[in-house]
């Protein structure tokens, strides 16, 4: 019997399986392998010290901001909130947004607690002293800076406008850029939550 034909068919099937095996496509930027896994030690808005592992199993959405932020932060947090609410109900509990304030001077844990509870019960407000925040920002290749304060003591803070998405294992998976729509974020998060459960 000639074995070449079945072998070729099997090979072809494998090849096709390779092509269609990972049919996951994402709207967000994939960052697997580009960025390190999630690690931090920060102070939660209730004053507790928490580590990344405390939220193990959860899809974590890391965002750097500050509570006096006029536009980017509230818009981003509101969009994340809408996107999570639009997910299938049983999957919503798998997602935890982490709002890290990079303005510890003004954002006390209490102020931070009030701010995040405004958006979503699941949102966790985190902060730390500036050196610890600098280390965390550096790990995710981002930074923040402060403008000169005006006569009322108000100042602007430059910070990342992206949301870093980590899966249940803490691996970096997606980067949500500012241009994404709520629907696109919902679809990506649902897909990630499903594949994490599977």
Partner 1 sequence: MNWSVLLPYDFSPLTVLAYLLVAAGYIVAFRALPHGERPGPVRVFAFFLGLGLCYAVMQTRFDYYAQYMFFIHRGQHLILHHLGPVLIALSNPLPILRFWHQRIAPELGAWAIPLRWAYNTLQQPLIAAFLFAGLVYFWLWPPIHFDAMLSRNLYWVMNWSMLLDGLLFWWLIFDPRSPHDDPLSLGYGKRILLLVLVGVPQMVLGAWIVFNRGMVYDVYEVCGRAWPMSPEDDQLIGGILTWIPPAMMSIIGILIILSRAMKDDRPKPQPQTLEGATR
Positions in the binding site for partner 1 (CB under 8 A): 29, 31, 33-35, 64, 137-138, 141-147, 156-162, 175, 177-178
Q: Which is nearer to partner 1, 80 or 91 (CB)?
A: 80
> What's the min distance (Å) between Cβ of 41 and partner 1?
21
Distance CA 130, CA 100 (A): 12
Strand pairing partners for 7?
none
Give the count of beta carbons closer than 10 Å to the beta carbon of residue 135.
Answer: 12
Distance CA 85, CA 59 (A): 15
> What's the min distance (Å) between Cβ of 102 and partner 1?
9
Q: Which is nearer to partner 1, 73 or 193 (CB)?
A: 73
Provide the 3-class DSSP secondary structure of residue 70. coil
Q: Which residues lie below 8 Å from residue 40, measured CB to CB, with a gap of 6+?
A: 51, 52, 100, 126, 136
> What's the min distance (Å) between Cβ of 147 and partner 1?
5
> What's the min distance (Å) between Cβ of 73 and partner 1?
12
> What's the min distance (Å) between Cβ of 183 and partner 1?
20
Q: Which is nearer to partner 1, 63 or 115 (CB)?
A: 63
Provide the 3-class DSSP secondary structure of residue 157. strand
Q: Which is nearer to partner 1, 124 or 157 (CB)?
A: 157
Q: Which is nearer to partner 1, 91 or 175 (CB)?
A: 175
> Where do the H-state alpha helices sit in 31-181?
72-85, 89-92, 109-119, 130-139
- Say if strands 59-65 and 163-166 run parallel, antiparallel, or are unpaired: antiparallel
């Amino acid at each position: 019997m000639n074995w070449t034909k079945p072998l070729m068919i099997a090979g072809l099937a494998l090849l096709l399986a390779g092509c269609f095996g990972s049919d996951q496509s994402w709207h967000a930027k994939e960052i697997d392998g580009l960025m390190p896994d999630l690690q931090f030690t920060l102070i939660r808005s209730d004053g507790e010290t928490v580590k990344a592992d405390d939220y193990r199993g959860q899809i974590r959405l890391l965002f750097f901001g500050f509570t006096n932020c006029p536009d980017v932060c509230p818009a981003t947090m509101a969009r994340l909130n809408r996107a999570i609410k639009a997910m299938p109900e049983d999957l919503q509990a798998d997602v935890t947004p982490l709002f890290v304030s990079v303005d510890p001077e003004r954002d006390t844990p209490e102020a931070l607690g009030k701010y995040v509870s405004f958006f979503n019960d699941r949102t966790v407000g985190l902060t730390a002293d500036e050196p610890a925040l600098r280390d965390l920002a550096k790990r995710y290749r981002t930074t923040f800076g402060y403008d000169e304060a005006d006569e009322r003591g108000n100042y602007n803070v430059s910070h990342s406008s992206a949301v870093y998405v980590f899966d249940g294992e803490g691996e970096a998976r997606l980067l949500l850029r500012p241009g994404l729509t709520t629907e696109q974020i919902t679809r990506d998060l649902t897909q990630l939550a499903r594949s994490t459960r599977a």
